[in-house]
Chains A and B, each alone.
Chain A
Amino acid sequence: MRNIILQILGLAAAALSSAPSFAQEPGQAAATVIAIPPMTTPDTGTKGNELLAIGWEATQLIAADLRQTAELVPLPPKQKDYYSYPEVTAPNFPKWRSAGAKALVTGFVQQRADGRLTFGCYVYDVEAGRELGRKGFVVAKDDWRRAAHKCSGIAFKGVTGSPGVFDTRIAYVAESGVGTGLVKRVALMDSDGTNHRYITAGDTIVLTPRLSPEADKLAFVSYVGGVPQVRVMDVASGSPRPLVPSGNAISFAPRFSPDGSRIAFSMMLGGNADLYSVSANGGYPQRLTFSPGIETDPSFSPDGSRIVFESDRGGSQQLYVMNADGSRQRRLTFGGGGAYASPSWSPDGKWIAFTLRSGGARRIGIIAADGSGEKILTRGPGDEGPSWAASSREILFQRSDSAGRTGLYRVGLDGSEPRQMSIPQGGSDPDWSGVMD
């Protein structure tokens, strides 16, 4: 990873005293119109013009980010609307009200003595005439995109109360070739598809890459030693090592805890798969389940206190919840019509996404964390592996067609038609990171 140096400035995020006047609940149709005047700069002369150019590119990227959401409708930014520096922190609210905007995001970019850039972003409730949030960042000059994504995130959070997905990453298994010539590589990209790169070389089968919450570490399953085993690596350094010294034992299905300190995973002893958890730096694993049968796909609750997983201990594949130390195991799903698999706990804690296997099809569904309100979101027939957006408003999953071609799709919780993501080849086993800091 290049010089992605990002610091939070002294501009502390303003505490929200109350919800904005247009606060929405998920699933509500009304979108908030948001104005995005061009980012300005306090600098003048040639340098000022150069920074205005960067600011304009960042402004367009923020508008593009927000246009992709269901919750915000950006007014198209106009480059000729020069925005003065004092207006960044003292906007002319009546003007934006008459333009039809309910929210406003302003910003500036300034060059530091060391050549890096300072970005400042502010979000306002136009109707109430008050600030909803602000944040500042220092980035290397080449990383202005990262700063723009951060501004988009602040705007989204200010309006909706949920984190945005703009400054997040997606790991997945890139698939090229067919049949016995199928090549699988771990790939990593920004959530808007930029910065795409391959992490493994494709000389051995790899499965289920899982990012740490801040996307700086990666755990995945590799056949490099002949037997599928979990390996972990720093994304920056790029050299994977075994998670646990497990000899010839098969280990798989790794998932980071929300604070990134631990990894839960499955390990097989004979024909029996049980769950374990271990420090993300390695060490001696703690065994969490002891029942015969297959226990796999652990996923932590957002506070790290519980783990949802799948087990066939009751005769059919169902979802179970336990405390993170393995205590208080209890069944969550009681569906008789199919197999519940690959659960994933939403970042807001409310939902658990899963794959339902029934009638020869695999579909993606959600169920409330207390086991109520089950809802199937996709038609299948070849869907699996749900992974949540940081916003808890969207799910990323893998879809295979009848010819075995795989792709990555996004679906909202309202069950609207899934949208295919654009990636350079086939893709499976997607994993969406939390917001990077």
Chain B
Amino acid sequence: MARKLTLILCLAALAGSPAAAQRRAPAPPPLTGIDALRAEFAVQSGGSIVYFGMGSNQLSAQALQVLTAQARWIRKHPEVVVRIEGNADGGDTRDHALAVGARRAQEVRDYLVLLGVPAAQVTAVSWGKERPGPGRVATILVR
């Protein structure tokens, strides 16, 4: 059952990946440097974003799966600098949102470090509710 779910998730990830878009688009230039790494990271870890329930900093089962894949990839790329960006829900108040975003980013960072990612490789920041959208944490490859 779990294997079946994984398979469906992988298919879903592939369908939404740049590879699917490239089939229709006329020959884009090949990605190099950090852009190539970002594309590879997104595909191989099933996404760079994990989502949260309203006001919560609890990692869902799906989030844990994505972060496990992210950690595996980051461990293999010690040269990459990673920034974890936490976002709160738009309905929150300004300062509470800033703290919620930070708490979520910290939760993700802690989990990656727990899975063996060197702490020095990962920084965390909060955007509070400055970037509209659902409550989420994005794992950004900086360089």
- Partner-B contacts on A (CB < 8 A): 179-180, 182, 205, 207-208, 221, 226-228, 248, 250, 252-253, 266, 268, 270-273, 294, 296-297, 310, 317, 339, 341-342, 355, 357, 360, 362, 384-385, 404, 428-429
Contact = CB atoms under 8 A, between A and B. Distances in A.
30 contacts: A205-B130, A207-B98, A207-B128, A228-B98, A228-B125, A228-B126, A252-B95, A252-B99, A253-B95, A266-B99, A268-B102, A270-B106, A271-B102, A271-B103, A271-B107, A273-B103, A294-B100, A294-B103, A296-B96, A297-B93, A341-B93, A341-B95, A341-B96, A342-B94, A342-B95, A342-B96, A355-B93, A362-B91, A384-B94, A385-B94
Candidate in B91, B96, B107, B125 with the most chain A CB atoms within 10 angstroms: B96
Contacts of A271: 57, 102-103, 106-107, 110
Interface residues of B, number: 22
Mostly helix, strand, loop or mixed at chain A's interface?
A: strand
A341 B93 CA distance: 7
A384 B93 contact: yes
A182 B130 CA distance: 9
B123 interface: yes
A349 B138 CA distance: 43
Nearest to A384: B93
Nearest to A316: B55
Contact of B132 (A250, A296, A362, A404): A404
A266 B100 CA distance: 13
B125 A360 contact: no
B106 A429 contact: no
A310 B96 contact: yes
A179 B132 contact: yes
B91 A360 contact: yes
Contacts of A317: 96
A386 to B, nearest CB: 10
Contacts of B57: 271
B35 interface: no
Nearest to A296: B95
Nearest to B57: A271
Interface in B122-143: 123, 125-126, 128, 130-132
Interface string B77-111: 00000000000000111111011101100110010
Candidate in B93, B100, B125, B130 with the most chain A CB atoms within 10 angstroms: B93
Nearest to A381: B91
Given A228-B128, A271-B106, 15 more contacts: A180-B131, A182-B130, A208-B94, A228-B98, A250-B125, A253-B98, A268-B102, A272-B103, A273-B99, A294-B96, A296-B99, A297-B95, A355-B93, A384-B93, A384-B94
Given A271-B106, A294-B100, A404-B132, A208 B125 contact: no
